[in-house]
Amino acid sequence: MAGPASIEPTPIDVGAVAKPDFAVAPDPARLFADRAARFQALASGHPLEAYLRFLSGLARAQHHILSDLPEPKLPQKDALDRAFEFGMPPIDRARFDLDEAAHATLERLVAAVADLPMPEQASDARRRIAEGDRAFRERLLVDVIETATSLETLAEHVFAAAALQVHFARLASQLEVARLQPVGVGACPACGGPPVASLVVGWSSAHGARYVACSLCGTLWNHVRIKCVACDATDKISYHALSEDGETLADSPSEAPAGRARKDEATAKAECCDTCGLYLKIFHHHLDPAMDPVADDVATLGLDLKVREAGWARAAFNPYLLGY
């Protein structure tokens, strides 16, 4: 995930102390292609290799269908203005009506992955979506928006979530990103969605800043380091990473100040909060710029398992980890 062009410095910035932009809009034209490449790079030799390769193909399909989708409809201008004025998500998922573009995105996505190698359970789910009626597909989409998934339709929700990622990223990319502002603890300022992970970035005008990534629309928003994303607590915060053998959980030193990270520092950590009992992963994107919050969240499932064994619960939502 490369830094956005909008926050690259100009010559006048040299020597200045940069203030990170609060929010960075997704760029659908590169988001899913980059994610597909990251899933593919992570797959080789990984215990979840088959699943990561499937998700890479799914992300490639997300990218492929972008060029032939109906234009998604943003809320009316007066509704957007009210949202910006009163600190509400402008494309609020809690009040969102699915339009023709959303339905077309799901239909074209399941068609685009028809020949993608996948487990039988996923193949059967893809077929049920392709052959199902509009009401069935709408129920799946609404379930994902409301994070109200069920064990019976977990496989279907993977495809529905992938379609909604495309749809909401396209919507978020059209917003006036400079007008976005905090809307609530742990909530995306664009759509109100939950986070998937956070990144310490190395962008030239935001080096060392931390951004939280939305699990739905892909918007990034700035969040203070050593501060719980789920409850805003600043004490009782600890960091944990997998040990070198990958089998045990190791305490990690407190997050280093911007620009002072060690080269041997773990690129994936769990920021754990004893105030609320939740954790969110923090990826050191400045040490590995290819990291993607969704792909790396899946690939570091082992860290989740150890952190949960230690007593913390996930504050993140990732539709590709619903079965874990």
CB within 8 A of 154, min separation 6: which ones?
322, 323
Token pair listed for 319? 């539709």
pLDDT in tens, 234-289: 999 999 999 876 677 777 766 655 444 454 568 999 999 999 999 999 999 988 99
The CA-based diameter of the chain, rounded to the nearest angstrom, is 59
Phi, psi angles (nearest 5°) of residue 98: -70, 125
Residues in a beta bridge with 213: 197, 220
Token pair listed for 115? 């020949």
pLDDT of residue 183: 94
pLDDT of residue 53: 97
Residues in a beta bridge with 100: none
pLDDT of residue 97: 80
**Mean per-residue pLDDT for 163-173?**
97
Alpha-helix runs per DSSP H in 20-99: 28-43, 49-64, 77-86
Q: Taking 70 as the threshold, does the pLDDT of residue 14 lie above it?
A: no
pLDDT of residue 150: 74
pLDDT of residue 34: 97
Q: Taking 50 as the threshold, does the pLDDT of residue 194 lie above it?
A: yes
**CA distances, 257 to each of 86, 264, 284 (Å):** 34, 15, 12
What burial letters (b/e) apply to 277-300, b meaning 16+ CB within 10 Å?
Answer: ebbbbbbbbbbeeebbbbbbbbbb
Helices (H) and strands (E) in the chain, counts: 9, 9
Token pair listed for 265? 């520092």
Angle at the Cα of 16 from the Cα atoms of 13 and 21, rounded to 5 degrees: 75
Report which listed range, 35-39, 90-94, 141-145, 245-249, is most confident.
35-39
**CA distances, 157 to each of 30, 136, 318 (Å):** 23, 12, 11
